Amino acid sequence: MSSTSSAATTLLADLGGTNVRFALADPSLASPLLLDSVKRYRVSNFPSMADTIRQYFADTGLSASRAVIAAAGRIVDGETVKVTNNPWLVSAHGLQDALGLTSVRLVNDFAAQGMAVPLLRHEQLQAVGPQKLPNTGEHQTQTFVVMGPGTGLGVAGLLLRDGRWTVLETEGGHAGFAAHTAEDVEILHRLNARFGRVSNERMICGNGIVNLYLALADIEGLPAEEFTPEDITARAVEGTDKLCVRTVETLAGIFGSVAGDLVLSLGGWDGVFLTGGVLPILLPWLQHGGFRERFESKGRFKETMQQVPTVAMMHPEPGLLGAAAIAVLESGKSLLPSSNA
């Protein structure tokens, strides 16, 4: 473990419904996230966030005076969050008092993933398509889209303005699904019959893979198996089930359409960063499937869209990395190279 003193460190947490990951950050370092300090705990094993943090400090022998907590939920007044599928109610001031910390910052988990982008090195990125990797901080003004499928579909904007990075938090995953092809229309009809309003998240997330599989089975008049998302993607990778292959290929195309729409909506001309727990499974299909074709198929903006890079974030802990970036900003330092700061 790192021997950095507690006075210079910030506790980081990436809190989801099932697990919470902890690490320390040293904002004075060029790579502030201390990867050797990362540990994961199951939420169900602890009565509260404070108890879990005490266990982390006891297990590692580490300590910190400040904390940045990225949580999978809506942050109310910067003070409290109720995480989806998680029994804990987390309060910033409550944690600060319980643990004797000087400050606790609560942020949305996807906002943290967006803030990870300025700290990512090129070797931690993988281009999806022929466009070159974007250089964050290269221009005085930049706008990126950050999006990714996990339990749901997270969407954020990342803006560089006046020498400072800012995350625009959105609920873009819940925007209505826009059908672009005849098959899209058929899929939409079936999901509309099941759910009423159909959002992008109904397809582009873990459970969305199953929704899409069932819709395609009905379109083809084929019997649908009781598959999990893992079942479908495994059979697609193996090539043993044509309907599973088609499901993942179709998902890649729809993902591309939605990503392109977000570029138009947010003005994310500098690039799209893809992240999320389902991304590693989908990435091979995004590389050789219809993702880029449908991403670029935006009518009069096609030539412009062909210049917009799409990039997969390959860092193992993007939520913690983004929390570390926030810790850097809170320490008064810049995330820009010194020549641009």
235-267 confidence digits (pLDDT tens): 999 999 999 999 999 999 999 999 999 999 999
Strand 19-25 to 10-15 pairing:
antiparallel
Task: Tell me how far apart the alpha carbons of residues 142 and 120 are, in angstroms, rounded to a whole number.
Answer: 16
How remote is the C-alpha of 264 from its chain's centroid?
A: 19
Checking if the pLDDT of 8 tops 60, the result is yes
pTM of the model: 0.90
Q: Report pLDDT for 77.
A: 80
Numbers of helices and strands, H then E, in the chain: 11, 14
pLDDT, one tens digit per residue, over 139-163 is 999 999 999 998 889 999 999 998 8
Average pLDDT over residues 199-216: 94
Task: Tell me how far apart the alpha carbons of residues 227 and 31 are, in angstroms, rounded to a whole number.
Answer: 41
Dig out the tokens for 52 from the structure.
Answer: 């879990």
Helix (H) or strand (E) holding 216: helix 206-220
CB 118 within 8 A of CB 325: yes
Task: Tell me how far apart the alpha carbons of residues 35 and 39 are, in angstroms, rounded to a whole number.
Answer: 9
